[in-house]
Amino acid sequence: MHDVNVVIAGAAGEGIQTIGAIVSKTVLDQGYAVFTWQEYESRIRGGQNSYSIRISDQPHNTPLIEADILLALNAEAVEKYRPLIKENGILISGESSEGSSIRIPFSKVAKDELGKKIYANTVAVGALIGALGIDLKTLQKEIKNRFADKADEILEKNRLAAEKGYEMADEGCRDLCPWNLPKRDGRFYHISGNEAIALGAAYAGCRFIAAYPMTPSTEIITYLAENENLGVFAEQAEDEIAAIGMAIGASYAGTRAMTATAGGGFALMVEHVSLAGMIEVPVVIVVGQRPGPATGLPTRTSQGDLLFVIHAGHGEFHKLVLAASDPLDAFHKTVRAFNLADKYQIPVMLLTDQFLTDSGFSFEEFDIDGEKPATFLADPDAIEDYKRYQLDDSGISPRLYPGQSKHLVGVDSDEHDERGHITEDLVNVALPMAQKRLAKNKKLKKDVMPPQEIALDEADTVLVGWGSARAALLEALDLLKADGINAGVIHFSEMWPLPDYSFPANKKFWTIESNATGQLARLLRSEYNVIFEGRIHRYDGLPLTADFIRTNFNAKRK
């Protein structure tokens, strides 16, 4: 099938989220994959935002910008988003706007037919489902589920409102709507990056999260706090410094602990990243990227914090930086982050971005098997004289936690001896201790996964990207093929330390990044000496798409 793209536009607070959620669940239940993507302003009321639903028979987890159907909830939304409508696309609106294909005065219908304006959005949902050619039954089931705990009257009114909208769209649609989405057998998981990370953390055995609210990472602690049965102690800290401080304290006390923030909050955490490196306490930090500097564009996306995160922390110590490609990968990377933080007793940063965290991706299977949660604590009974920082060629000393046994556990942010006590003995104590910590990198580097190579054999051009750009890069290959270009992809998702890897010979490399200064290119050039033929940078706050990559590639290669 040809993918169908629906864009719902309206002011913040007008209900596009609710409409989007009901429509996408209905489409899913009809047996189709959906990719949902939101683009919104940093405000609670007003502004004009959109919620896009890409519908396909198998998962296509990248946004389409052009709309087959635009549902606009107000006149301003019509003006702002009308240019997105495809040649044969339609506009459904409640306003008497010119050029509207189907005009349904949602509020008036709701008031006249159901007695209350609040049913207007359900009328709109019905209209959209009608225009898409989906059975009304599937929508009615979803409405029944969604309003199950509401009074009977409310449920009934919503059913009627949906039916009314559906009928009106049916009439208006006659010659305009070619779409037909009959019930099919497909079943898909539809999940966002943040939800997957929260579940991955619980699965990994994380029992403590402290965080300070900041888009785009707030949903992680929200999910864990809401799902009390997961047994995760969730605390909203007074600031990001306290958030990571609490997580490190919890981890020292023996549990798996994490925090989650954006670039600005992570900036406040940096001293503690260095502390975790020094006292060798594992901690997982999710950094959701959004455009900076400073507060930047709070609700938009970016890959602009790569070098900042890799270099975060004063002094020299080892850390691991992972970057998730999609929610399934985010789930597994979260487990991996906890395992490797434990194994090497280091801070691990997991990079995401607003696009990954806020979008809903479809998966046919969401297999949680893969890397299993593994712990690396020492056995107190096997130790006679315990030293938290016992020198060892591997750099890894036995880790116990306080109260676990008779053994005392002391840690110190000052340079310290094997028992964790302050030292000023430079030659006999401080230097060997620094060398012990730095020795971890040898094994750690071997644990880091090489980049994923896709279609390299045939390719003369290679698109090099990282993190959440993966799906757009893959889709771009198909588009470029149509333009007569044989391209492949090298995709990085484990960013630091960089693994041992050689770039293939005789190919032209292009970096594709959501930042202005080519941070990945700079990193790879310094580590692998690779030369880039071209660069495509997107830094307008919107995600990389296959179209964007193709257009810019073709414009730049001449």
Residues that bind another protein (CB under 8 A): 25, 28-29, 31, 141, 186-191, 195, 199, 202-203, 205, 207-208, 210, 227-231, 233, 235, 237-239, 241-255, 257, 271-272, 275, 279, 366, 368, 373, 377, 401-414, 420-422
| Spatial CA neighbour of 11 closest among 52, 46, 50 | 46
Toward another protein, which CB reaches closer, 178 or 402? 402
- Other C-beta atoms lying within 10 Å of the C-beta of residue 547: 17
Cα–Cα distance between 499 and 428 in angstroms, integer? 33
Toward another protein, which CB reaches closer, 409 or 536? 409
Cα–Cα distance between 300 and 290 in angstroms, integer? 6
Toward another protein, which CB reaches closer, 92 or 224? 224
Min CB(348)–another protein separation in Å? 17
Instruction: Scan for tokens 């989220």, then name that residue.
Output: 17
Toward another protein, which CB reaches closer, 416 or 440? 416
Toward another protein, which CB reaches closer, 93 or 259? 259
Min CB(192)–another protein separation in Å? 9
Min CB(438)–another protein separation in Å? 21
Between the CA of residue 345 and those of 43, 340, 536, what are the distances in Å? 40, 8, 37
What contacts 355, CB < 8 A, 6 or more positions away?
Answer: 37, 301, 468, 543
Min CB(351)–another protein separation in Å? 23
Toward another protein, which CB reaches closer, 67 or 283? 283
Min CB(403)–another protein separation in Å? 5
| Spatial CA neighbour of 172 closest among 234, 228, 103 | 103
Cα–Cα distance between 452 and 464 in angstroms, integer? 10
Min CB(141)–another protein separation in Å? 7
| Dihedral in degrees, nearest 10, Cα atoms 317, 320, 323, 324 | -150
Q: What is the CA radius of gyration of the chain?
A: 26
What contacts 56, CB < 8 A, 6 or more positions away?
Answer: 1, 3, 4, 32, 33, 34, 35
Toward another protein, which CB reaches closer, 132 or 257? 257
